[in-house]
Amino acid sequence: MRAASLRQALWHRHVNAVNAPAAMREWLTEGGSLTARLSAHSGAFRVQRLHQHRAMCLPDEARRIGLARPGQAWEREVLLRCDGRPVVFAHTVVPLSASASDWPLFSALGERSLGSTLFKDPQVRRGALEFARIRAGHPLMRRAFVALGGDPHDAGLQDAILHDAMAHHATHQTIYYARRCLYRRHQGALLVTEVFLPPVLGLVAATTNKNEMTL
Ligand SMILES: C=C(O[C@@H]1C=C(C(=O)O)C=C[C@H]1O)C(=O)O
């Protein structure tokens, strides 16, 4: 496997292109705010802010947010947790040229959900979703593994950490499913990428079981 293909993601406009399992496809195509859906499928939902700082954007993000070449951007990364389990790793980039009036709430979000602010703001225009299959070697997965306590340079450990972190979902997989969406507001651009982690599938199963028990 060429190293480059481990690091890059091929983004598709239609979800069929990533051939995701049906349950994952439901999450990938979720049209509304993830906060609402994740909260409905768990007892406790939390946005764990990992960091928000200046950083080099990924090579395939630069053009998408209007940069002429890869460069620095404002980067925010979070883990969405349901009942403590990590279900989504989210990565957001905003050009450094953005003014405070473009994204007035972005810099002071803390552990409030970015998604919910975007969905509540009538001046925000949401672009079409794009979908990708990404491998454990992709930069976003390396960051997710670090956030979950793994060593970003040990492929074996990465999977072991992620695997252990989601033991009861025991889906030792090297393919992860992601989506991204470009938001615009005034002159601003903001690109949100969400990588869905295996425990997200357990959420739907848990709720189904719960429903079955109450029938
Ligand atoms: C949880 C939601 O938004 C998430 C929260 C994010 C954040 O706080 O950085 C980023 C991406 C979204 O997946 C939502 O859509 O409501």
Res 162: pLDDT = 57
Q: Can you tell me which atom of ligand 1 is nearest the CA of 194?
A: 13
What's the burial of 14, exposed, middle or buried (CB within 10 Å: 0-12/13-18/19+)?
A: exposed
Res 205: pLDDT = 47
Res 161: pLDDT = 54
Give me the interface pTM, i.e. the ipTM. 0.89
Res 141: pLDDT = 87
The correct answer on CATH 3.40.640.10 for the domain covering 20-152+175-208 is no
pLDDT tens for the chain, residues 1 to 215:
455 555 567 999 999 999 999 999 999 999 888 888 998 988 899 999 999 999 999 988 999 999 999 999 999 999 999 999 999 999 999 999 998 899 999 999 999 999 989 999 999 999 999 999 998 888 898 888 888 876 555 555 555 555 555 544 434 557 899 999 999 999 999 999 999 998 898 886 444 555 544 44
Q: Where are the domains of the chain?
A: 20-152+175-208
Res 169: pLDDT = 43
Res 168: pLDDT = 40
Whether the CB of 67 sits within 6 Å of ligand 1: no
Between the CA of 118 and the centroid of ligand 1 the distance, in Å, is 9
Res 215: pLDDT = 44
Res 99: pLDDT = 86
Whether the CB of 140 sits within 6 Å of ligand 1: no
Instruction: Determine which residue's CA is closest to atom 7 belonging to ligand 1.
Output: 114
Alpha carbons 198 and 166: distance in angstroms, whole number = 7
Mutating to test ligand 1, I would choose from 49, 74, 78 the residue with most ligand atoms within 8 A of its C-beta, which is 78
Q: Residue 55's beta-bridge partner residues?
A: 73
Mutating to test ligand 1, I would choose from 29, 35, 193 the residue with most ligand atoms within 8 A of its C-beta, which is 35
Alpha carbons 143 and 84: distance in angstroms, whole number = 18
Res 148: pLDDT = 84
The answer to whether 58 is a known ligand-binding residue is no
Res 1: pLDDT = 46
